[in-house]
Amino acid sequence: MRGTFTPHRTLAAVLAMAAAGTVALTGCGTTEKPVKPATMPHMEPQQQDVFERRADDIVRHWPKHLSPMPGRRAAVLPLVSAERPKDAGQREITVTVGHSACDVHFGARQYESEDVVVVSGWGKKKSAKGMCTEMLATDKVKVKLEKPLGGRKVIDAATGKQLAAG
pLDDT of residue 18: 46
Same domain, 98 and 146: yes
Domain-located, residue 145? yes
Same domain, 15 and 68: no
Same domain, 69 and 22: no
**pLDDT tens figures, 23-68:** 444 444 454 444 444 443 444 456 888 999 999 999 999 888 788 9
Same domain, 74 and 128: yes
Which carries the bigger pLDDT value, residue 16 or residue 110? 110
Same domain, 85 and 142: yes
pLDDT of residue 118: 96
- Are the C-beta atoms of residues 117 and 163 closer than 8 Å to each other? no
Domain-located, residue 1? no
Domain-located, residue 148? yes
pLDDT of residue 166: 54
Residue-number span of the structural domain to which 128 is assigned: 50-163
pLDDT of residue 128: 62
Which carries the bigger pLDDT value, residue 17 or residue 103? 103
- Are the C-beta atoms of residues 152 and 82 closer than 8 Å to each other? no
pLDDT of residue 53: 92
Domain-located, residue 14? yes
**pLDDT tens figures, 73-131:** 778 988 999 998 888 889 999 999 988 778 778 899 999 999 999 999 998 877 666 67
Domain-located, residue 2? no
Based on the structure, what is the number of domains in the chain? 2
pLDDT of residue 35: 43
Look at the pTM and tell me if it is higher than 0.85. no
Same domain, 120 and 154: yes
Region 5-27: mean pLDDT is 45
